[in-house]
Amino acid sequence: MNYISEDFHYHYIPSYTLYVQSNLHSDHIIVLGPDNDVLVNMVYSNESPTPEATKILGLPFEQVYISLPHQNLLWVPTEVFEPGDLALYTEHFLDPRIERVAFKEIEGHGITALYQFDSMLENRWHNAFPHAQLFPTFLPVIKNAVNRNNQESEVLGIHIYDTLADIFLLVNNEIRLYNTFEIQTPDDLSFYVLSIIKNFGLHGSIPKILLSGASKDSEWGDRLAYYTSQVEEVQSTAVWKTENEEVKESIAELNILVDLTLCE
């Protein structure tokens, strides 16, 4: 998709915000105006970006939020985690260099996430926007989920992106599990969901499943309905506005991109 609104004006760039969702294969970029109106919406292969996308990414945006898939993810109790002890955890990461391990405390939940990005992907965006804020995929997903004040005793969360699924379990709104799995088909997703149900002793139907990155009417939502009476699509905390129906459809599944501001 290659959409540029008639209301997009280069001399207003300082007032615009650039959002990027990038992976190893493609980029989805959004430019928002001051009133959350979508001025640019582009999706393209990052091996061959369109001339229009290249031009947009060369503009001097002052506010830039970028979501990248995490390459490794490790959860550590906050009470025992010390930034100076990162060397204790490097064996769990593809790149064992301490400077390549980032961390973020999940406030109010007593855990700290340690993670890495793919180095080429991270360097690409750091070079393009040195001042940009880079966030791992899991962060807005989990923050959105725990901020919902779920009333159910057990909530399973699924976030679909690229060929991956982030699956997490909340018990009394406490994070008990968060893992990333490769999936190609709904059968793959079922395998991991059933494994979690068995390993955590979740008897009967799960009270609620949160789904993001896909519609509950999608093949993913249809499959998850086997395990619960309530599949709920995650709603973002902000609304991006557009009158273009094709753009609405394109951004409908980008809830985590909308919620990157939760992660500041």
CATH of the domain at 204: 3.30.420.260
pLDDT of res. 161: 85
Same domain membership, residue 99 and residue 58: no
Mean pLDDT of the chain: 89
Q: Containing H/E element for 63?
A: strand 63-68
Half-sphere exposure of 237 (CA within 13 A, CB side): 15
Residue 59 lies in a domain: yes
Residue 88 lies in a domain: yes
Same domain membership, residue 46 and residue 20: yes
pLDDT confidence tier of residue 184, bands split at 50, 70 and 90: very high
Residue 126 lies in a domain: no
Query: What range does the domain containing 113 cover?
Result: 70-117
pLDDT of res. 257: 67
Residue 138 lies in a domain: no
Residue 45 lies in a domain: yes
Q: What's the CA gap between 230 and 205, in Å, rounded?
A: 10
Render pLDDT for 79-123 as a digit per residue (tens, 0 to 9): 999 999 999 999 999 889 999 999 999 888 889 999 999 999 999
In this model, does residue 193 exceed pLDDT 80? yes
pLDDT of res. 149: 63
Residue 251 lies in a domain: yes
pLDDT confidence tier of residue 75, bands split at 50, 70 and 90: very high
CA 99 to chain centre: 23
Torsion on CA atoms 29, 35, 37, 40, rounded to nearest 10: -40
What total number of domains does the chain contain?
3
Same domain membership, residue 251 and residue 215: no
Residue of 172, 168, 135 whose CA lies nearest to 256: 135
Same domain membership, residue 229 and residue 152: yes
Render pLDDT for 126-183 as a digit per residue (tens, 0 to 9): 999 999 989 998 888 888 888 776 677 899 999 998 889 999 999 988 899 999 999 9
Residue of 184, 142, 136, 193 whose CA lies nearest to 164: 184
Residue 129 lies in a domain: no
pLDDT confidence tier of residue 256, bands split at 50, 70 and 90: low
pLDDT of res. 222: 95
Percent of the chain with pLDDT over 90: 59
In this model, does residue 262 exceed pLDDT 70? no
Same domain membership, residue 155 and residue 184: yes
